[in-house]
Structure 1
Amino acid sequence: MRSRITLFALTGALTVALAACGTTPAEPPSSGTTDDGHGDIAGAEEVAEPQLGLTSIDPHGTVSHLDLLDERVTDIGEIPAPTDMTTDGRYLFAETSDGVEIVDSGVWTWDHVDHFHYYRAEPALLGAVDGKGDATIATTNLSTTGGTGISFAGSGDAVLLDTHALSKREISELFRIEREPHDGLVVPVGSFALVTEATDGIGTSVRGYTADGEETGLDESCVAPAGTITTRVGAVVGCADGALLAHVDGDELQVERIPYPEGTTAPAVTDFDNREGRPTVAGLAGSEGIWVLDTRARSWTLLPSPAPLVHVTAVDDEDGHLLALAQDGRVLVLDDESGAVLAETPPLAAESLAAGMTPTLIADQHRAYLSAPAEHRLYEIDYADAARVARTFDTATEPAFVAETGR
């Protein structure tokens, strides 16, 4: 999953340069599930290359999609005004005052271990999941199988959606569990889920559940759970003292604890990010530095911050790049072993940050995308080429939320 990300609306004139595409290293998906149809869904067209795009929702709820291959903009429809949003690379889960609205971008990639399948279908508004209070959404890297978790802080409801049903344009709840209200998580792991439990409104542990809502007996301490992301190795859950790493072994849900290094006083990560699926993830250690978690090696690294930062993400490529957004609006390309600055952009989103807006930084294998809401722009950055700005997209309206889809 990607944890919550703030997204950017695209509906205006475009100025264009050059783009590239390619393949990614192959490892088995972490969910423990397979799909004999290779991600194929009735009515979808299999195509030769990933259908990368930017699917966006503006502050009023207007949904549109920019195709990054031919730069056409498609209007998808309208939803109630969103306050936050999460994506898995296909679906957009938009938090509203009444619950979570779900948008299907209509483009996705199926990771079949040693090769990939790419699909395109008509985008659609799928409807809403009702709930009270802030919603935290957790996804996997597979958009046609498994589950999607929603935790509602106001009511405490823990919901697991059937992702396969979503791929057929249906909203189906595999379970809805009543809990004490708290800022919690529902994290899908293959055919299971981890659900946080609370005492006096504070999360204290995670319990394992089957997809039909039966407890597995797994119960692990996790004080102040915050932040989750799915890598090829497993699902990460952030805790005050480190992270839990969950995966399925055979037909059994297993959890490992990855504690922070002994003696550390740096704050815990509350928001993980990476290039989708890769084993290495990153998050801010408050204002004190950058935590890098290698889920394959089960190890943490604390790096110094080269400047005051807003966000950080791990590209996890051969060159070990991290990308960071500085508080002055620059995008920094960092070394993931030393934290050294390898390249940087000019301050592209300075006006947005000065206005209290939150730009979004997204990384894929070849490019990064930065939203600049107050500037009415989205930037495509070639981080491997000295942080060169490869394309600039201007928008006619104030940008609000954007996700890179089709990956």
Structure 2
Amino acid sequence: MSTRHTPVTPRAARMTAGAVLGILTVSLAACAGQPTADPSASPSADATGAGHGAIAGAEEVAEPPLGLTTIDPDGQVTHLDLLDESVTEIGAISAPSAVATDGRYLFADNGDGIEIIDSGVWTWDHVDHLHYYRAEPTLLGAVDGEGAATIATTNSSTTGGTGISFAGSGDAVLLDTEALSKGEIRELFRFEREPHEGLVVPVGSFALVSDTDDGAVTTIAAYASDGEETGIEHPCTDPAGTVTTRVGAVIGCDDGALLAHVDGGELSIERIPFPDGAAPSAISAFHNREGRPTVAALAGPTDIRLLDTRERAWTLLTAPVPLVQVTAVDDEGGHLLALAQDGRMLVLSADDGSLLAETAPLVSESLADGAPPTLIADQHRAYLSAPAERRLYEIDYADGARIARTFDTATEPAFVAETGR
């Protein structure tokens, strides 16, 4: 279908929540403590964006422009502003089968490639302080590929690369994230491999790429961002699951994890094995509060594995009930968020896995219907999607798992990303 290669950039229609007319109805429940700052923009102090993440056409704002960007089963993309509760219809893409995000862009896999949505909101991390930006949301276009795609991002939406591994063709692709921030889809490299469910993980000016040996994935090889081989390889059987923290990029292997980072222009790859006695497990997904050093994963329904990338250490916990997802908040309160198989969101202790708080079953219908909910943690709130229930929940996990706000939707929020962070 030749038309899907043409970027679609309709002018977004911005509305108040009361004027959405069936797109999104907002109901509030006990919303004390929510952000009330004026999100109105002021001109960026650095118009060139040099060193502060600004992009031509974007405006700097005083508070994080947090939002929930959703895609329904038919591909309709909508953005809910969590500060003023206004809604933007961004446009429509092909019906996706999976979606990944870096906190600004959504990468939607439709089986024949990746379509990229720019939510138009992002945070730039200057280590000791942050800058917040808002621009016009848009549909950027598509990246061709065959079969299911695995996406790996960094914590920056204006620099570095974004990795795509296509299972059907085996193509390994590294996108230029800085070009994306200017509205251009540009491939830094693309090369063929044996078809497999692999990874392309950006790390500074490098990318780690899975490789096969007689059909088995056993090795991670490092490439420069222009596709040149570095000669650096590291054993990793069945690599699966990746996330980037402030320390570096994590890749799950069946005997632990690899941690890769760049120091002084040199790439370093470390192996962090599971503790003695831990069963081998190729972890399929890591989740955390974006950028924080500790990440969480499930190796089984009650087998929680926390990896502190700063300390290079695993913590093994046993969940009180079977889970479908776990997310490390990595805050002073030691909170760990989990979604139980019965639809409850649990707040657990990251020290011993004990139950600290819980909600009522919120997404049991979605779980029963095979409509996977999304659980997201940020500094102050958790966000839980309920596709079958047509609802989005905002939960104050530090206040006894109190439901702070509920957003009812007219269509299923099949895929949800918190953007602007």
Pair in the same fold by TM > 0.5: yes
Q: What count of residue pairs does the alignment treat as equivalent?
A: 386
1:288 deviates by: 4.1
Return the letter of the residue paired with 1:188: P
1:399 deviates by: 2.3
Return the letter of the residue paired with 1:95: D
* Equivalent residue, structure 1, for 2:91: 77
Residue ranges of structure 1 left out of the alignment (5+ in a row): 1-9, 23-34
Q: How many angstroms apart in 2 are the aligned matches of 1:11 and 1:107?
A: 21
- The 5-angstrom pairing of residues 341-360 of structure 1 reads 341-360=355-374
SS at the partner of 1:398?
coil
The structure whose Rg is larger is 2
SS at the partner of 1:258?
strand
SS at the partner of 1:391?
strand
**For 1:129, which of 135, 138, 143 is the aligned residue?**
143
1:387 aligns with 2:388: no
SS at the partner of 1:13?
strand
**For 1:150, which of 144, 155, 164 is the aligned residue?**
164
1:329 aligns with 2:337: no
Q: How many angstroms apart in 2 are the aligned matches of 1:243 and 1:95?
A: 26
* Equivalent residue, structure 2, for 1:260: 274
- The 5-angstrom pairing of residues 214-253 of structure 1 reads 214-253=228-267
SS at the partner of 1:317?
coil
SS at the partner of 1:165?
helix
* Equivalent residue, structure 2, for 1:3: none
* Equivalent residue, structure 2, for 1:92: 106
CA contact (8 A) 1:207 1:220 kept: yes
Q: How many angstroms apart in 1 are the aligned matches of 2:199 and 2:216?
A: 12
Q: How many angstroms apart in 1 are the aligned matches of 2:131 and 2:198?
A: 34
* Equivalent residue, structure 1, for 2:19: none
Return the letter of the residue paired with 1:241: D
1:287 deviates by: 2.3
TM superposition score normalised by structure 1 = 0.93
CA contact (8 A) 2:337 2:347 kept: yes
CA contact (8 A) 1:274 1:313 kept: yes
* Equivalent residue, structure 1, for 2:221: 207
1:12 aligns with 2:8: no
1:266 deviates by: 5.7
1:159 aligns with 2:160: no
CA contact (8 A) 1:180 1:199 kept: no
* Equivalent residue, structure 2, for 1:112: 126
CA contact (8 A) 2:238 2:282 kept: no
* Equivalent residue, structure 1, for 2:389: 375
Deviating above 6 A after TM superposition, structure 1's stretches of 4 or more consecutive aligned residues are none
Q: How many angstroms apart in 2 are the aligned matches of 1:41 and 1:293?
A: 34
Q: How many angstroms apart in 2 are the aligned matches of 1:325 and 1:266?
A: 23
Return the letter of the residue paired with 1:15: S
CA contact (8 A) 1:266 1:286 kept: no
SS at the partner of 1:285?
strand
CA contact (8 A) 1:378 1:393 kept: yes
1:68 deviates by: 0.5
* Equivalent residue, structure 1, for 2:314: 300
SS at the partner of 1:54?
strand
CA contact (8 A) 1:288 1:304 kept: yes
Q: How many angstroms apart in 2 are the aligned matches of 1:178 and 1:266?
A: 30
1:165 deviates by: 0.1
CA contact (8 A) 1:21 1:366 kept: no
Q: How many angstroms apart in 2 are the aligned matches of 1:300 and 1:36?
A: 38
Return the letter of the residue paired with 1:252: E
**For 1:362, which of 355, 365, 376 is the aligned residue?**
376
Return the letter of the residue paired with 2:196: H
1:175 deviates by: 0.2
- CA distances 1:328-385 after superposition (whole Å, capped 9, x unpaired): 0000000001000000000011111111221110000000001111111110000000
* Equivalent residue, structure 1, for 2:55: 41
Return the letter of the residue paired with 2:253: C
**For 1:54, which of 68, 87, 94 is the aligned residue?**
68
CA contact (8 A) 1:147 1:160 kept: yes
CA contact (8 A) 2:326 2:338 kept: yes
- The 5-angstrom pairing of residues 185-196 of structure 1 reads 185-196=199-210
CA contact (8 A) 1:266 1:288 kept: no
Greater RCO (Cα-Cα under 8 Å, separation 6 or more): 1
Q: How many angstroms apart in 1 are the aligned matches of 2:193 and 2:390?
A: 41
1:37 deviates by: 3.3
1:21 deviates by: 4.8
TM superposition score normalised by structure 2 = 0.90
SS at the partner of 2:24?
coil
Q: How many angstroms apart in 2 are the aligned matches of 1:305 and 1:204?
A: 30
1:234 deviates by: 0.3
Q: How many angstroms apart in 2 are the aligned matches of 1:398 and 1:62?
A: 10
**For 1:269, which of 283, 306, 313 is the aligned residue?**
283
Return the letter of the residue paired with 1:118: Y
Return the letter of the residue paired with 2:153: T
1:157 deviates by: 0.3
CA contact (8 A) 2:62 2:132 kept: yes
1:305 deviates by: 1.3
CA contact (8 A) 1:51 1:108 kept: yes
CA contact (8 A) 1:268 1:286 kept: no
Q: Percent identity?
A: 73
